[in-house]
Amino acid sequence: MRTTSALLIGAAIVGGVALLVRGPGGDAVGVSQAAPSGNPLDEIIQQRGLTPDEAEAALKTFVPPGKYDDFVMVTSGGHRGTIMLYGIPSMRLLKEIPVYAPDAWQGWGQGDEESAEVLKKGSWGDGLPTLTWGDLHHPQISLTNGKYDGEWIAATDKSSGRVAIVSMRDFKTKSIFKIPNMNSDHHGVFTDNSEYIIVSSFFPTPYAEANGYAPIEEYPRKYKGIVSFLRFDRQAGRIVPAESFQIELPPYFQDLSINGRGPSEGLFFINSMNVEMATGGDLEGKPPMEVAASQREMDYLHVIDWKKAAEVAKDATKTKVVNGMRVIPLSTVVAESLLYFVPESKSPHGVDLVPGGEYLAVSGKLDPHVSVYSVEKIKKAIAAGDFEGKDPFGVPILKYDDCIEAHIQVGLGPLHSVFDDQGNGYTSCFLDSTVVKWTLGPPYHPPEAAWKAVDKVSIHYNIGHLQAPGSNTRKPWGKYVVALNKWSVDRYPPLGPLHPQNLQLIDISGPKMRLLSDTPSIGEPHNSMMIPVEMLQAWTTYPEVGFDAMTMKRAANATLQGQEKIVRNGNTVTVNGTVLRSHYTPDIVRVKQGDKVVFNWTNVETARDATHGFGLQGYNVNLSIDPGATEEAAIVATKPGVYPYYCTEFCSALHMEFTGWLLVEPRK
Amino acid sequence: MRTTSALLIGAAIVGGVALLVRGPGGDAVGVSQAAPSGNPLDEIIQQRGLTPDEAEAALKTFVPPGKYDDFVMVTSGGHRGTIMLYGIPSMRLLKEIPVYAPDAWQGWGQGDEESAEVLKKGSWGDGLPTLTWGDLHHPQISLTNGKYDGEWIAATDKSSGRVAIVSMRDFKTKSIFKIPNMNSDHHGVFTDNSEYIIVSSFFPTPYAEANGYAPIEEYPRKYKGIVSFLRFDRQAGRIVPAESFQIELPPYFQDLSINGRGPSEGLFFINSMNVEMATGGDLEGKPPMEVAASQREMDYLHVIDWKKAAEVAKDATKTKVVNGMRVIPLSTVVAESLLYFVPESKSPHGVDLVPGGEYLAVSGKLDPHVSVYSVEKIKKAIAAGDFEGKDPFGVPILKYDDCIEAHIQVGLGPLHSVFDDQGNGYTSCFLDSTVVKWTLGPPYHPPEAAWKAVDKVSIHYNIGHLQAPGSNTRKPWGKYVVALNKWSVDRYPPLGPLHPQNLQLIDISGPKMRLLSDTPSIGEPHNSMMIPVEMLQAWTTYPEVGFDAMTMKRAANATLQGQEKIVRNGNTVTVNGTVLRSHYTPDIVRVKQGDKVVFNWTNVETARDATHGFGLQGYNVNLSIDPGATEEAAIVATKPGVYPYYCTEFCSALHMEFTGWLLVEPRK
């Protein structure tokens, strides 16, 4: 702990005021004596019982009113189906972006026709329900030359095998693509110029069998893993299936992945678990998954020559088309030498690539080391063709010792590693509840300083991912690590049996890591990326009045002021209206029971922050109409009555008068 | 601004390091010269360019890792349909409680049978859709002896005329009650021992007409306001309609309200707007609502003798039953002298009661004053029977001058007032963007110090409500005011056209108010209540294994370890299973296409934070199963295939293995 001279002086001259310091559980855990010293800061420090470390953390994390954070952390909301944006170092939640789940406030999936269509098209179809949730795990910022470009976010859905695209212009979701032939994923990454988003499946499925079904007893033969190379149209913010391809993989659980760069360019790496091909059956007399999938010592790091695979995918004789996607079958994968395995410690959680692309870090969670693989050694071993054998599907397995560069002992339950701009790695240890800092080898550090654990900080509790600005790209910024901790236990006042998860901000700018702050989460902040606030290029209003956020063009149903009208066409009544502080035009809509009513509202304002709402009573409609935007809702007026509508945003002093009436006359 | 001697010394001896201070827009707004002074705090202050005020604010608001905030602020999420819990002074978002809208993370309305039923029963029925949103404006903490008791939260829905009940044991929603005969509300308050929740309508409707319909041209005659006295069963956390009653009101827009205490006990106060009975019609050649509802100088503060009304409600000859609710018609209200009007400045936003119940503060938003009414004077004027006239419905109107106690000039657009524990009021001014502090009269301050504006602080921007701990109860705590600001404009880095709203924490512990921090919001933080963290009595796990959160009793479908089974009954397959780190029992479920599958999962853990999930791929199901809880989901297996399920909470080192398989065999 550091102390300040001013504080010591303050402490020396004070006395008389008893102070309680509240600990977990609300108990008073310490009593200190203090009184005014004449120095306002020291007085506050004394009054609030802050330690010198805590006072420093306060000053390091506070972002004064009206000033901006240094970084924005783009974080997944996990099974909340959203993306969260936090400011760093304040750790204030700046925004939540609805993606797979509706958000009534933002009108996403809440009566708005276009977002309803995105959610519907992004579901599985074939009679299965429209999904209003997803398990959003790994938001990725698009890349140009291997660095963040601040244009798009791609976000995969572990629960469903989907990828959503969010624009960083308006931070709204533009599309959700259900990936054919894979029903789950865990992770997706952009290639260095965002040509592709590469997504692997987690759970193998019998995707190519009749009805997509095969008994679980036929798992090894008929179930398959998939990795998808999804062509990304960065103008439209959409996936182009016709230019995408898939590679069939053995039925292991393919997990996190990373795309090569520099010496590893053209290669794609996926780690895996359950090479035992266990399928559970605990009520049928078999061991549960957790036991059966932990029998062997090693799983396989997948090394895919994806540039070569892209060429093979163009050859119709070597591929098949399944559910509209071009697939390279596993037999072709083996025949064309597209895939190699490298043994990796059992059940790894992450495969991470150093900034220059020379080394891969893998941590098997049952092994207290980080295993560092040399890309050069892997390439040499492939070239030499000296394998330790093949897996049951014929995939060659490289020799572990041929590929390994270093082992660093970090502690129990190592999961993921991130990198700073000073040649250091930081690994999360789930069981130890620590973050361990270690040094990279050449060219980052000379051999004598390489591959050493140099610092450790305790976190609270059960850290999963951790993140640092720009880690796993060509351009890390360092400065901070955020620990994304699964359990908070006693870190917050009890607010029911569902406890928040805990985000901990760690200062990595000095030689020793310093824990700065705790922030509770809503949702599951699975993983994140951090981008300097200067790189953001978001719109503050839409670029023109009558803008369609989904197509990012002028809306066909936009209405300008003075052009408002109500049009009846058979049983459909279309309201082409405008919103403007502080009224709707029209503010009376008269229909008959059974009519379909379509509301097209254009917010004709151009002032920043002048968002208006359209809440329709009794109906499941709340639109959020940003300045310049046109939004559409449609209802069927099934029941006669009087249904007021009103602006759900408190937009002006005359907000309470910002109302209208939908009058539904009974059919005689 | 204050400076510290240490800081001045630091500044005197430093030099040489150029520092940028980032302002709104990301521009560098100032450059200062600084270098290490040897005092770590001063170094940080210099490096980060903090002013002395900002450094103080940092130290006043920082809650160190692992320590607790002093207060929990229970805040509405507005049209997000949720309640937010913030810690004060850190302003960290501790939890979001889903109420009217689903939350996939918490499994609320996300496949769970019971929450789906709450949302359905809480909708309007009669062929109208099940609502998945609400406009939650005014969360209220239940009272015992006029003080917070930390047991329940009631939350009204402006968009729909509903009241939801949330338990403060588990911070989950227990019931949503659609209030008959009123299709909107804005506000509801507990009586001093939570016998009733009193809720008034905002939009009048022709509730008693055939089909609930009348042309808008018959508005003055057929449309009515309503105030509901909803009997609250504080054991069950539910409304008891049979013991509730309603009072019919003229078709003004009844707005916020407050229940009397002390000298005002037995009276209920509602302010109103639109006594002009304007109905808009801007596309039909009439003035818009905002103009037509602002024609007169005064609206009417409603004074209701509700204890007397409760007696009248027992008399079947004086009441009618409409849609299952006992209603006192307006004619009876007048005949029984249950309602009086007091003129109030046009279009007021709030009516607030001082801690002892002696005075009411009302602010007409077009009048730069707070009007303070004396309850004693109102009672005297009623007793004297000296009225200035009657409204068109026969309601007597008291004379303004007979009732008024004081006017305090506060500035433009005054909306709401709150009170501290030192006899001061604080009023939000929307147009001026200020909070103004003023003194109360006797017994809080002697006459010479009474009713004076004594301080003012600028906020950013467009403040709506403001709140202070325990304001509008018998027991305020003072210390902080939070300004709930509608617009943030340039206070945060642009993240698209939808900007956050802005919560500002103000220190009111000294003679001058001090703005401490800015916090962006998700949703619309309409209003709040703040309770000391010590008063919380929440569960950290459920009290027994197999607990049903909805009934708060042991669940009929609970399963204990060793009792797991799969039962087929015709085409229904029921899975009675358990979850426990790190597996489901069963982890294989075999059904046939077309079967209904009911999953009952009991979390048999008793460890704090050991929540597990049940995410079923392809289906719209994600359960959150807290320690001890039993949750149920049901699906129809319409499509053959393989549907993995997995724990969506990262609950253990073997979390990735926490999976199972729903196998849907095709019908031959």
Assembly ipTM: 0.94
Residue A623 has pLDDT above 80, yes or no: yes
Question: pLDDT-based confidence at A32, cuts 50/70/90?
Answer: very low
Nearest to A430 by CA among A510, A508, A348, A506: A348
* Stated pTM of the model: 0.94
Instruction: Please tell me the distance from the alpha carbon of residue A319 to that of residue A388, in angstroms, as a whole number.
Output: 29
Using CA coordinates, name the residue in chain A closest to B433: A653
Q: Is residue B412 a contact partner of residue B431, using CB atoms and an 8 Å limit? A: yes
Question: Best residue in A27, A41, A183, A658 to probe B by mutation, most B CBs within 10 Å?
Answer: A41
Tell me whether residues A42 and B657 touch, CB distance under 8 A: no
Lookup: tokens for A547: 């803008």
Query: Does residue B365 surpass a pLDDT of 90?
Result: no
Q: Which chain A residue has its CA at the smallest distance from B256's CA? A: A656
Contact between A479 and A509 (Cβ < 8 Å): yes
Question: Whose structure tokens read 């910022």?
Answer: A141
- Tell me what pLDDT residue A366 has: 87
Stated as kind and residue range, the H or E segment containing A588 is strand A588-592
Is a pLDDT exceeding 90 seen at residue B267? Answer: yes
Query: Closest Cα of chain A to B376: distance in Å?
Result: 31
pLDDT for B25: 38
Whether the pLDDT of residue B485 is over 50: the answer is yes
Q: Which among A583, A619, A661 is the nearest to B129, CB-wise?
A: A619
- Measured between CA atoms, how close is A381 to chain B, in angstroms? 31
Q: Which residues of A touch B213 (CB under 8 A)?
A: 640-642, 663-666
Instruction: Kindly report the three-state secondary structure assignment for every residue of A214-275.
Output: CCHHHHHHHCEEEEEEEEEECCCCEEEEEEEEEEEECCCEEEEEEECCHHHCCEEEEEEECC
Tokens for B30? Answer: 């100032």
* Tens digits of residue pLDDT in B145-196: 999 999 999 999 999 999 999 999 999 999 999 999 999 998 999 999 999 9
Mark yes or no for CB contact A489/B87 under 8 Å: no
Contact list in B for residue A152 (CB cut-off 8 A) is none
Q: Which of A138, A253, A657, A661 is most worth mutating to test chain B (most B CB atoms within 10 A of its CB)?
A: A657
Residue of B617, B631, B639 best to disrupt the A interface, most CBs of A under 10 A: B617
**How far does chain A reach from its first CA to its final CA, in angstroms?**
81
DSSP character at residue A556:
T
User: In this structure, how many other beta carbons lie within 10 angstroms of the beta carbon of residue B648?
Assistant: 28
Residues of B in contact with A135 (CB under 8 A): 615, 622, 648
What is the C-alpha separation between A586 and B282, in angstroms, rounded? 6
Record: contact B431-A85, CB cut-off 8 A: no
- Answer whether B296's CB lies under 8 Å from B347's CB: no
Chain-chain contact of B26 with A68 (C-beta, under 8 angstroms) = yes
User: Least CB-CB distance to A622: which of B127, B133, B622?
Assistant: B133
Q: CB A132 to CB B21 under 8 A?
A: no
Q: How many residue contacts between A and B have a Cβ separation below 8 Å?
A: 592
Average pLDDT, chain B: 94
pLDDT at B261 over 70: yes
pLDDT tens-digit series, residues A69-97: 999 999 999 999 999 999 999 999 999 99
Tell whether the model's pLDDT for residue A638 goes beyond 90. yes
Is the Cβ pair A585, B282 closer than 8 Å?
Answer: yes
Contact present, B273 and B256 (Cβ < 8 Å): no
CA-to-CA distance for B633 and B622, rounded, in angstroms?
Answer: 9
pLDDT at res. A522: 94
pLDDT in the model for residue A668: 77
> How many percent of chain B have pLDDT more than 90?
92
Asked if the Cβ–Cβ distance from B215 to A93 is below 8 Å, we say no
CB-based burial, A17-44: b 16+ in 10 Å, e otherwise = eeeebbeeeeeeeeeeebeebebbbbbb
A499 vs B21: CB contact, 8 Å cut-off?
no
Nearest residue in chain A measured CA to CA from B519: A92
* DSSP class of A540: S
Give the CA angle between residues B97, B103, B106 to the nearest 5°: 75
Contacts of B659 in chain A (CB under 8 A): 203, 280, 289
What is the predicted pLDDT for the residue at A365?
A: 87
CA distance B240 to chain A (A): 22
Within 13 Å of residue B383, how many CA atoms lie on the same side as its CB? Answer: 6
The span from the CA of A379 to the CA of A356, in Å, is: 16
Average pLDDT over residues B518-546: 97
Cβ separation A102–B132 shorter than 8 A:
yes
Comparing CB atoms, the residue among B70, B95, B134 nearest residue A495 is: B95
Task: State pLDDT tens for residues A366-385.
Answer: 899 999 999 999 999 999 99
- Averaged pLDDT, B610-626: 98
B contacts of A539 (beta carbons < 8 Å): 494, 496-497
pLDDT in tens, A400-443: 999 999 999 999 999 999 999 999 999 999 999 999 999 999 99
Considering only alpha carbons, which residue of chain A is nearest residue B535?
A: A26
| Sequence-ordered strand ranges (E) for A486-558 | 502-507, 514-520, 528-532, 547-548, 553-554
Residues of B in contact with A106 (CB under 8 A): 498
Q: What are phi and psi of A580, to 5 degrees?
A: -165, 135
pLDDT at A520: 98
Residue in chain A nearest B3 by alpha carbon: A40
- pLDDT tens profile B629-651: 999 999 999 999 999 999 999 99
Spell out which residues of chain B touch residue A519, defining contact as CB-CB under 8 Å: 92
Selecting from B77, B212, B488 the residue whose C-beta is nearest the C-beta of A640 gives B212
Give the distance from residue A591's alpha carbon to the nearest chain B alpha carbon, in angstroms.
Answer: 11
- A519 contacts B92? CB cut-off 8 A: yes
Mutate to test the interface with B, among A37, A46, A105, A604 (most CBs of B within 10 A): A105
Identify the pLDDT of residue B38: 75
At B382 the pLDDT is 98
Nearest C-alpha of chain A: how many angstroms from B307? 30
What three-state secondary structure class fits A349?
Answer: strand
How far apart, in whole angstroms, are the C-alpha atoms of residue A52 and residue A45?
8
Q: What angle do CA B122, B123, B129 make, to 5 degrees?
A: 150
Contacts of A283 in chain B (CB under 8 A): 564-566, 585-588
Rounded-to-integer distance, Cα B302 and Cα B305, Å: 10
Whether B11 shows a pLDDT value over 90: the answer reads no
The upper half-sphere exposure of residue A308, i.e. CA atoms within 13 Å in the direction of its Cβ, equals 13
- How far, in Å, CA of B234 to CA of A451, rounded? 62
Q: What pLDDT is attached to residue A116?
A: 98
> What pLDDT does A37 receive?
58
Per residue in A136-192, pLDDT (tens digit) is 999 999 999 999 999 999 999 999 999 999 999 999 999 999 999 999 998 999 999
**Three-state secondary structure along B418-451?**
EECCCCEEEEEECCCCEEEEEECCCCCCCHHHCC
Of A7, A22, A619, the CB nearest to B67: A22
Mean pLDDT over all residues of chain A? 94
pLDDT tier at B37 (50, 70, 90 boundaries)?
Answer: low
- Give the whole-angstrom CA distance, residue A141 versus residue A137: 13
Residue A622 pLDDT > 80, yes or no?
yes
The alpha-carbon gap from B227 to the nearest alpha carbon of chain A, in Å, equals 18
- With a pLDDT cut of 70, the percent of chain B lying above it is 94
A664 membership: H or E segment, kind and range:
strand A659-665
Q: What's the rounded Cα separation, in Å, for the pair A230 and A161?
A: 12
Helix (H/G/I), strand (E/B), else coil: B123: coil
User: Which of A57, A127, A624 is nearest residue B498 as measured by Cβ atoms?
Assistant: A624
Tally the residues of chain A: 668
pLDDT number for residue A38: 75
Nearest CA in chain B to A414: B653
- Across the interface, whether the CB atoms of A642 and B24 are under 8 A apart is answered no
Chain B partners of A182 at a C-beta cutoff of 8 Å?
none
* Number of C-beta neighbours around residue B208 at 10 A: 18
pLDDT exceeds 50 at position B259:
yes
User: CB–CB of A565 and B283 under 8 A?
Assistant: yes
Backbone angles phi, psi at A121, to 5 degrees: -65, -30
Residue of A nearest to B432 (CA): A653
Distance from CA of B435 to the nearest CA of A (A): 16
Asked if B60 and A42 come within 8 Å (Cβ–Cβ), the reply is no
Residues of A in contact with B653 (CB under 8 A): 365, 413, 430-431
Q: Is B496–A52 a contact, with Cβ atoms under 8 angstroms apart?
A: no
Tokens of B67: 């320590």
* Per-residue confidence (pLDDT) for residue B33, from 0 to 100: 41
Q: For position B66, what pLDDT does the model report?
A: 96
- Residue A55 is predicted with a pLDDT of 98
Partner-chain residue, chosen from A59, A126, A524, that has the shortest CB–CB distance to B48: A59
pLDDT of amino acid A35: 46
The contacts of residue A40 (CB under 8 Å, 6+ apart) are B2, B4, B52, B56
- Check pLDDT > 80 for residue B87: yes
Note whether A105 contacts B72, CB cutoff 8 Å. Answer: no
